[in-house]
């Protein structure tokens, strides 16, 4: 009798042949399974030579089934190999793409913060932006002083006092300030050029996000704000995940980006703030984000540091602070050397946080599905060969 569901042995074909005869006898048998109990005695009376006839039919059926499964297996194997090759190629280009991807860091300073009931929350007075990549460091920078315009009545002293303890930019009569906000924004758009019609994301620190975003929209009130402002902290987390398959502690990331070791480094602040020995500078805040990323990720990404990555004094100094411990959310601080060993053991396929992120996840899902199909086909082949 059939020994497993879906299998067809010699007895199955004997019963199949007896179906018309059973129906002529008046037995209500609609299928082979219903006719099986009525054929056992007739089957037992057959000789081995007679049973061989039905055994041959069973072998032929199994051979055709195996041929079909093997054909499907071959198709899936070819598809699996093609996708696997595509994934390997994708991974090979992934690493250099990350290194060569340009990131834009932006900050806009204001003369203080006005209360929430005021329509104008900020008075933008300075804008700084840099173009940066892991491979080349700081590629270019953009900087302008901005004329804040008319100060809301009753807040002039408040705004000037806020500026005096930070960036020290005069609230009025500053000859370096540009009055036309549209011109400054248009030059910023020229600096941050879109790729294939898509504007690249712009990053700033989370604490500055509300102010920078408000100022951008305020400056673009007669035009359109094309820029999407993202968190620099999230970018650092993604860059670490790219290598470690784990996210670093958000607290550690924030502390890293708040490092003050480059506050007085040469060629970090704008010329005016440098000459006046003023620490707070919009351009400097952008450059220091780049310095922190270069300093933290150099060993991990095997970056050859240049003067574009770090100021010359810090790059050449033996006392450069180079974090050797990374705090992961999932556990204790881990040595960079240990992580570098771990990186060599990790799978190279990871989610890609840039423009290729969606494609990476799609490829991984497709690869998983094909792997499951491949395993299913293997089970079928082994099942029918047994």
Predicted confidence band at 288 (pLDDT cuts at 50, 70, 90)? Answer: very high
Percent of the chain at pLDDT exceeding 70 = 71
Is the confidence at residue 367, as pLDDT, over 70? no
| Rounded Cα gap, residues 37 and 54, in angstroms | 18
Please report, in angstroms and rounded to a whole number, the separation of the first and last CA atoms in the chain. Answer: 17
As a whole number of angstroms, the longest Cα–Cα distance in the chain is 116
Query: Among 338, 160, 339, 179, which Cα is nearest to 246's?
Result: 339
Distance separating alpha carbons of residues 49 and 205, to the nearest angstrom: 86
SS3 content of the chain, % helix, strand, coil (to 5): 55, 15, 35
Residues 6+ apart with CB under 8 A from 144: 126, 127, 178, 184, 187
Structure tokens at 345: 């053991």
pLDDT band at 151 (very low <50, low <70, confident <90, very high): confident
pLDDT of residue 373: 65
pLDDT surpasses 50 at 347: no
Closest CA to 84 of 366, 379, 287: 366
Q: 3-class SS at 203?
A: strand
3-state secondary structure of 364: helix
Which residues sit opposite 133 in a β-bridge? 137
Three-class SS of residue 271? helix
| Phi–psi pair at 203, nearest 5 degrees | -115, 145
Q: How far apart are CA 224 and CA 187, in angstroms?
A: 14
Mean pLDDT of the chain: 79
CA atoms within 13 A on the CB side of 192: 26
Positive or negative, the CA dihedral 309, 314, 317, 321 is negative
344 C-beta neighbours (distance < 10 Å), count? 6
Q: What are the tens digits of pLDDT across the range 24-41? A: 888 888 888 888 888 888
pLDDT of residue 342: 38
How confident is the model at residue 364, as a pLDDT? Answer: 59
| C-alpha R_g of the chain | 35
Across 92-108, b (16+ Cβ under 10 Å) vs e yields eebeeebeebbbbbbbb
Residue reference for tokens 């303890």? 165
The interaxial angle of helices 250-257 and 282-301, nearest 10 deg, is: 120
With pLDDT > 90 as the criterion, what percentage of the chain qualifies? Answer: 31
């Amino acid at each position: 009798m059939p020994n497993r569901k879906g299998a067809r042995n010699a007895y199955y074909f004997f019963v199949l042949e007896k179906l018309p005869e059973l129906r002529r006898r008046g037995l209500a048998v609609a299928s082979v399974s219903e006719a099986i109990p009525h054929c056992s005695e007739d089957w037992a009376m057959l000789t081995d030579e007679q049973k061989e006839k039905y055994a041959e039919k069973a072998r032929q059926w199994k051979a055709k089934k195996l041929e079909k499964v093997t054909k499907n297996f071959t198709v899936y194997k070819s598809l699996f190999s093609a996708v696997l090759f595509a994934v390997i190629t994708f991974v090979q280009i992934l690493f250099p793409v990350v290194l060569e991807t340009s990131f834009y860091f932006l900050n806009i300073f204001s003369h203080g913060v006005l209360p929430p009931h005021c329509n104008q929350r900020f008075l933008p007075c300075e804008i700084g932006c840099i173009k940066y990549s892991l491979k080349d460091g700081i590629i270019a920078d953009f900087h302008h002083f901005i004329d804040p315009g008319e100060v809301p009545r009753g807040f002039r002293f408040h705004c000037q006092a806020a500026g005096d303890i930070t960036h020290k930019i005069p609230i009025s009569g500053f000859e370096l300030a540009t009055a036309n906000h549209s011109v400054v924004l248009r030059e910023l758009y020229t600096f941050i050029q879109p790729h294939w019609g898509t504007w690249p994301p712009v990053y700033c620190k989370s604490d500055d996000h509300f102010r920078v975003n408000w100022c951008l929209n305020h400056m673009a009130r007669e035009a359109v704000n094309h820029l999407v402002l993202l968190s620099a902290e999230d970018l650092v987390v993604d860059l670490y995940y790219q290598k470690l398959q784990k996210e670093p502690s958000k607290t550690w990331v924030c502390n890293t980006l708040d490092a003050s070791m480059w506050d007085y480094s040469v060629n970090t602040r704008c010329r005016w703030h440098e000459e006046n020995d003023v620490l707070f500078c919009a351009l400097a805040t952008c450059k220091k984000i780049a310095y922190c990323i270069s300093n933290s990720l150099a060993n991990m990404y095997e970056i050859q540091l240049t003067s574009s990555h770090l100021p010359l004094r810090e790059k050449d100094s033996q006392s450069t602070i180079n974090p050797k411990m990374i705090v992961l959310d999932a556990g204790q601080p881990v040595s960079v050397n240990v992580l570098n060993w771990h990186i060599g053991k990790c799978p190279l396929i990871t989610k890609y946080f840039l423009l290729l992120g969606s494609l990476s996840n799609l490829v991984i899902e497709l690869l998983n599905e094909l792997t499951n199909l491949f395993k299913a086909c293997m089970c079928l082949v082994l099942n029918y060969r047994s």
